[in-house]
Amino acid sequence: MSMIWEKLVECQHNIIEKFEYHLKEYNEDGLGDYNQPENGWVNRTWNSDSIRRAHIDVVDAREQRGLWMMHVCVFPQLHNDAPIYGFDVIAGATKMTGAFHDYSRSVNPNHPMMQGYAESVQDFIPEKKRELPEWARNIFSTNMLAAGNVKTEEEAAEIIRLALDNLDAYLWEVKDFNHTADEAACAVAQNYYCENQQQNPHTPRTMKSLGLPEAEVDKFCKDMLFPKIV
């Protein structure tokens, strides 16, 4: 197994362990159709009184396509004004082609958790910074970690460390902000995040390139990856 894949698979297990410790897994309607670990596709969700939806999506196509992809997103409950946690990565055997990590605002653009996140990543300078399209600039913070062409073990390890350390901080701190938000306003803010994420053309394109069925990918990206609150 390549060094990068080894570190990312370990990261996947660490994220699941953190979700298991802090949250309770639940079966989201319809998502079970896309949880096919025997086919290399994992989709699982957790929640709590602070977290509305913590989702991990992994596509392991190392043997078939030489690629591995993970998406992690954590939404706070609608009564909680905490930001939205995100970590996305796609990697071949020798490099991460893209890695993205952020605390993105929900209803409070000046949330103290976002300040803590900004301080955690302020010293990380990627070798190659990825430029963000308009839909991403609409929702991600100005401190977002966006790295491309990550080839060295040191840079890959630092990205993973930051994502895991910040997930730890997020899961411990988010409960302190229960009942701080207007639920209707929070729903609008979280839906705006989902609407912009749904404009990302790279996710369905990448998933199809990993060998997943086209019709399944289209439905998954539309209804399950960033489901809007109705």
Question: What is the reported pTM?
Answer: 0.96
- pLDDT for 171 beyond 80: yes
Indicate if the pLDDT at residue 155 is higher than 80: yes
Asked if residue 132 has pLDDT above 90, the reply is no
pLDDT tens-digit map of 142-151: 999 999 999 9
DSSP the chain: --HHHHHHHHHHHHHHHHHHHHSEEE--TTGGGG-BGGGTEEEEEEE-SSEEEEEEEEEEEHHHHSEEEEEEEEEEPTT----EEEEEEEE-SS-EEEEEEEEE-SS-TT-HHHHHHHHHHTT---SSBPPP-HHHHHHS-TT-EEEEEE-SHHHHHHHHHHHHHHHHHHHHHGGGGTT-S-HHHHHHHHHHHHHHHTT-SHHHHHHHHTT--HHHHHHHHHHTSSPPP-
Domains and CATH numbers, the chain: 3-223 (3.40.1500.20)
| pLDDT at residue 66 greater than cutoff 80 | yes
